[in-house]
Amino acid sequence: MAAADAAHASLSGVTRVFPGTAGHPPVHALGPIDFELKRGEFFAVVGPSGCGKSTLLELIAGLQRPTEGTVAFEGRPVSGEVPDGIGVVFQEDASFPWLTVYDNAAFGVRQNGVAAEEVRRRVDDALAFMGLKDFARAYPAQLSGGMRQRVCIARTLVLQPHLILLDEPFGALDAQTRLLMGDEVLRLWRRTGATVLLITHALDEAAMLSDRIGAMSARPGRFMDIIETGWPRERDSTIVSEAAFGDITGRLWENLRGESLKSLGISDRAVE
Amino acid sequence: MNRARASAVVGATRRATDTLIIAIAVLLLWQGLARVAGSTALAGPGPTLTYFMHFVPSQRFAVNALSTTLTFGWALIIAYGLGLAIGVWMGAHRLSGAVGEPILITLYSIPKITLYPVILLIFGLTVSGKVAFGAIHGILPVALLTMAAIRNIPPVYLKSARALHLSPWQTIVKVLLPATLPEVVAGLRIGFTVTLFGVLLSEMFASQHGLGFLIVNDMALLQTEEMISIAVVLFVFAAVANALLLWIERRMHRRV
Amino acid sequence: MTRVGWIRLVVIVAAIAALELACRAGFINPKVVIPPSEMASALVPLLASGQINDDIARTLGVVTLAAVLSVVFGFALGLLIHALPRVREALDPYFATYYAVPVFIFYPVMIAIFGFSPWPIVLIGFATAVVAMIIATLNGLDRVPRVLTKVARVHRLGTLATSLKLKLPAAAPYLFTGIKLSVSYAFVSVIAAEFILSSAGLGREIADAYNDFNNRRMYALILLLLVIASVVNSALHAWDIRWAKRRGITTA
C-alpha cells in the first residue's frame, strides 16, 4: 500500500450512541459509517442540524470514542486522546480572553517545549498569514468575532498540523464575513498542504470550498452521497459563477431536502 | 407516572439522601470533636438532643425567642422599607445612582460592628438600638440589588410600554414590577439573613433578653447544650425562610 | 475626575461638614457623637504615640491570616467540589443557609482546643470567609466556556495543566470577586469577635473605650477602622475594574 494512497484518516463500521441518563433514552447519533479521508484533500460534510456532523468530527479528533467500530489516523488507531498532528477550530469563540493575540497563538506550541526562537518564528508567520500582525498586543475582547476566529485559526496553524478539523467555524459570523473567511481557509489549505475536514450547514460554502462533499442524512447520520467537485486547487470564491457550482448545490439540496424536513419533524409528503 | 416524572422523583430522593449523608457525617464529626475537647467545652450530639427536647417547649426559650422575633420583625420592616425606597430612587434617577452607588458599596464593606458603640450611645441600651443595628445591616443589600434590578430593565420594555400607550401607573405595575421582581427578591433574601445576624449580634453585647443574650450567657457558663440547641433553632428558621424566598425568586425568574 | 466624581466628592464633604456643624452647634449631644474634626485630632496623637501599634498589628495580622487561608482553601475546595457534581448538589442547601448562624458560638470549643491564642479568632474569620470563596469559585468555574476544555484536550494538556492554565485564568474575574468578599468577611468577623469576645486587638480596644466612657478614644479608633476598611476595599475594587476592563467583562 503506497503511502500516497493510504487514507489519512478513516472510520470503519463506526457508530456513536450517547448513553441514556436519568430521564433521557439513549441517542443513536451517528452511523454505521465507513469513510476514508484522502491525504491533502479538502472534504466538507453537510447535513441538517443534529445529524451528527460535529460528532463525526469529534470522533476523528479523538474527543469522543466510537460505540462500535474503529477510528484511525495516519495508520494508528484513535482512542480517547487527541493524536499529535491534528488541529481543531471550534464554532464557539475559543480564544483565551486573558492572553494577548500573540500569546494565544503561541499557546499550543509553548506547551511542547519548542525553542523560543522557533516559537517566535512560527507565531509571527501565522499572525502575518492571518492578517493579525498589527493586533499582536491586543486582547481578544477588543476584536470582532471574525478576528477572534482568525486568532483561533492562527493558534492551530502554529502547531503545524497534518489534519485540520473545522467545526462550523463561521457559524457565528455574518454572511459577508463568512464568504471572505472561506477564501482564507482555502489559502490556509494550500499553504500548509494539510488535509482539511470542514463541517458546515451551508451548501454554498461546502460546494465552493471542497474537493469532495459528504451529504449526511438526518439522525442517525450516515453519508447518503459523496460528491466530487473536481475544482482546481488554485480556486477562490469566484467559483460561484461557474455553471458546475449550481449543479453541485442542486445535487446537494436534492439529497438533503428530505433529510432537513425530517430533522424538523415534518414528513416529506406533508409539504405541498 | 410517566418516565420524566419518575426520574425527577428518583433525582430528588437521591439529592435528599445525599444531603442527609452529609448531615450524618457532620454529626459524627461533632461526636469526635466532643471527645477531643471534653464535655465541658463541647457537649456531644446525644446530650444536646436531650436538652433540646425539653428546652424548646420551655418558658425560657419562649420568652427569649419572642423578644428576638419582635426585634427582628421591626428591623426587617425598616431595612426592607428604607432599602427599597433608596434602591428605587437610585435606580430610577440616573445621576443619584451614579453618584451614590460607590458610596453604598463602600458603606456595605464597612464592618457595621464598628458603628455599634455609636448606636448604643445614640439609643442607649434599648430595644430601638437593637432594631436600628439590625436594620443597618439589611438596608444596603436590599438597596443595592433593587437599584441594579431597575437599572437592568431592558430599555426595549420601556419603549414597548410607550408604544402601547400605557399610563405611568400601568407601566410601573405591569412592566417594571414583574421585570425587576426576581432581583429584588434576591436582595430581600440576603437582607433577611444579614438583618437576623445583626439583631443576634446586638443581643450579644448589651441586652438582657433575646436568643443572642442566651448564647453569650451560655458561652460564659459553658452551657454548650443550650448554645447548640439555639443554633439549631436559628439554623432551621433561617433555612426555611431562605428556602421560601428562594422558591419565590425562582418562580419570578420563570415568568420573566 | 468626571462630573459624577466631583458631585460625589461634594456630597461626601457636605455630609461630613453637616455632621461637624451639627456637633459644634450643639444639635447633637457631644456625649453621643463628637465632631469629625475631633475624631481626627484624637486619632493622630494616638497613632503617633505608638500605644495601639500592637493592637493594629494583632488585628491586621489575624485578618490577613484568616483571609489568606480562606482564599487558598476556599479555592481548592471549590475546585474539588466542582469536579464532583453529586457532592455539590448535596452541599447546596448547607451553603445557602451557612450565614444564618453566627459562627462564633464555637468560640469556647476553640479555646478548649487551642487555648487563649490568636488561633480561635483566626478560625472564626476563616470559617466565615471560606464559604464565600467556595461559592465564588464554583460560580467562576461554572462560567468557564465548555469549548475551552475541548481546546485543552486538542492541545493534549493533562488535568492539572488544564486546571492551572485554562480554568484558573478563565475563572479569574469571578475568583477575584470571591477574594474581595473573603477579605471583607474576614475583616467583619474578626472585629466582631474581638469586640464581643473581648480578646486582644482593635475590636477589644473599642469595647474597652466604650465601657470606660472614653468617647474621644473610642471614636478615634472607629475612625481608624473605617479608614482601613475603605482603603483596602477601594484598592481591591480598583484592581478588579482594571482586570475586568481588559477582559471586556462587567462584573461589579
CATH number at residue A243: 3.40.50.300
Q: Which of B206, B197, B211 is nearest to B67 (CA)?
A: B211
Query: How many structural domains is chain A composed of?
Result: 2
Domain assignment present for A7? no
The answer to whether the CB atoms of A93 and C147 lie below 8 A apart is yes
Q: Which amino acid is at A7?
A: A
Mean pLDDT, rounded, for C147-172: 88
Distances (CA, A) of B81 to B100, C8, C10, C133, C166: 18, 24, 27, 30, 45
* pLDDT at A4 (0 to 100): 46
Closest Cα in chain A, distance from residue C164 (Å): 13
Q: Which architecture does CATH list for C37-247?
A: Orthogonal Bundle (1.10)
Q: Would strands A195-200 and A223-228 be described as parallel, antiparallel, or unpaired?
A: unpaired
Interface probe, candidates B22, B35, B109, chain C, greatest C C-beta count within 10 A: B109
Q: Which candidate, A8, A10, A30, A6, places its Cα nearest to that of A18?
A: A30
Domain ranges of chain C: 1-33, 37-247
Residue A28 lies in a domain: no
Is C105 within 8 Å of B227 when comparing Cβ atoms?
A: yes
What's the rounded Cα separation, in Å, for the pair C20 and C30?
11
In this structure, are A43 and A153 located in the same domain? no
Question: Can you give the length of chain B in residues?
Answer: 256
Closest-CA residue of chain B to A24: B4
| One-letter amino acid for residue C88 of the chain | R
CB A48 within 8 A of CB A55: no
Residues A126 and A246 in one domain: no
* Identity of the amino acid at A166: L
Whether A183 and A66 share a structural domain: yes
Q: Which of A61, A92, A98 sits opposite C154 (nearest CB)?
A: A61
Q: In what order do the strands lie in the sheet with A195-200?
A: A86-89, A163-167, A195-200, A42-46, A212-216, A223-228
Q: Can you say whether the dihedral through the CA atoms of C140, C143, C146, C150 is positive or negative?
A: negative
Return d(Cα A49, Cα A171) in angstroms, integer.
12
Preceding omega of A220 cis (within 30 degrees of 0): yes
Which one, of A148, A145, A231, lies nearest residue A186 by Cα?
A231
Strand-pair category, A27-38 with A212-216: unpaired
Question: What is the span of the domain harbouring residue A237?
Answer: 39-85+161-266
- Nearest CA to C105 out of B60, B62, B201, B135 is that of B201
Test A82 with C156 for CB contact under 8 angstroms: yes
B60-80: b (≥16 Cβ within 10 Å) or e:
ebeebbebbebbbebbbebbb
In chain B, which stretches have pLDDT less than 70?
1, 4, 41, 254-256
Please list, in sequence order, all residues whose beta carbon lies within 8 angstroms of the beta carbon of residue A204, skipping any fewer than 6 positions away.
A240, A249
| CA gap C139, C174 in Å, rounded | 7
* Minimal C-alpha gap between B15 and chain A (Å): 13
- Structural domain contains residue A102: yes
- Residue C186 contacts residue C126 (beta carbons within 8 Å): yes
DSSP A221: B
Q: What are the phi and psi torsion angles at B164 (to 5°)?
A: -90, 5
Residue C234 CA to residue B102 CA, distance in Å, equals: 10
> Cβ(A156)–Cβ(A106) under 8 Å?
no
Instruction: Name the minimum distance, in Å, from the CA of C251 to any CA of chain A.
Output: 15
- CATH class belonging to B44-255: mainly alpha
CA-nearest residue to B12 within chain A is A22
Q: Quick check: is A272 in a domain?
A: no
Would you state the pLDDT for residue A2?
Answer: 44
Output the CA–CA distances (angstroms, integers) from residue C178 to C27, C74, C84, C134, in the order listed: 43, 9, 20, 8
Residue A237 belongs to some domain of the structure: yes
Q: Do residue A96 and residue C147 have CB atoms under 8 angstroms apart?
A: no
Place of cell 472607629: C222
Q: Do residues A178 and A152 both lie within one domain? A: no
* Region of residue A260 (left: phi > 0; alpha: psi -120 to 50; beta: else): alpha
Among A109, A143, A159, the domain boundary falls at A159
Query: Beta-carbon neighbour count of residue C88 at 10 Å?
Result: 17
pLDDT: which is higher, B252 or C51: C51
**Predicted confidence pLDDT, tens digits, chain A (272 residues):** 444 456 899 999 999 998 887 678 888 889 899 999 999 999 999 988 778 898 999 999 988 899 999 999 998 899 888 888 899 998 888 888 888 999 999 987 887 778 889 999 999 999 999 999 999 999 998 998 889 999 999 999 998 899 999 999 888 778 888 888 888 899 889 989 999 999 998 888 899 899 999 999 888 889 988 999 888 888 887 887 888 888 888 888 888 888 888 777 776 555 44
- Nearest one of A114, A24, A29, A21 to A67, comparing CA atoms: A29
Q: Are residues A248 and A138 located together in one domain of the fold?
A: no
Q: At what angle do helices B116-123 and B177-205 cross, to 10 degrees?
A: 80
Euclidean distance between CA atoms B18 and C37, whole angstroms: 58
Q: Where are the domains of chain B?
A: 1-37, 44-255
A121 shares a domain with A45: no
> Chain C residue closest to B100 (CA)?
C8
Q: Is the ipTM of this complex over 0.85?
A: no
Q: Using CA coordinates, name the residue in chain C closest to B217.
A: C105
Alpha-carbon gap, residue C193 to C45, rounded angstroms: 27
Residues A60 and A183 reside in one and the same domain: yes
pLDDT, position B225: 84
d(CA B120, CA B129): 6
Strand order in the sheet with A68-73: A27-38, A7-18, A68-73, A76-77
Domain end call among A110, A131, A159: A159
**C153 contact residues in A (CB cutoff 8 A):** 62-63, 81-82
Can you give the pLDDT at residue A119? 92
Smallest Cα–Cα separation from A208: which of A170, A260, A173, A172?
Answer: A170
Q: Is residue A229 part of a domain?
A: yes
pTM: 0.76
| pLDDT for residue A259 | 81
Q: What is the CA radius of gyration of chain B?
A: 23
Considering A144, A159, A174, which residue would you say is the last residue of a domain? Answer: A159
pLDDT at B232: 83
Least confident of A236-240, B59-63, C212-216, C247-251: C247-251
In angstroms, the separation between the Cα of residue B42 and the nearest Cα of chain A is 43
What is residue C69's predicted lDDT score, i.e. its pLDDT? 96
In chain B, residues with a C-beta closer than 8 Å to the C-beta of A22 are 7, 10-11
Instruction: In whole angstroms, give the CA distance from residue B59 to residue C199.
Output: 33
Report how far residue C231's alpha carbon sits from residue B105's, in angstroms, rounded to the nearest whole number: 13
Residue C91 has pLDDT above 80, yes or no: yes
Give me the pLDDT at residue A272, please. Answer: 44
Same domain, A148 and A167: no
Q: ∠C56-C62-C67 over CA atoms, to 5°?
A: 125
Alpha helix (H) ranges present in chain B?
3-37, 45-55, 59-92, 94-109, 116-123, 127-151, 155-163, 168-170, 177-205, 211-221, 224-255
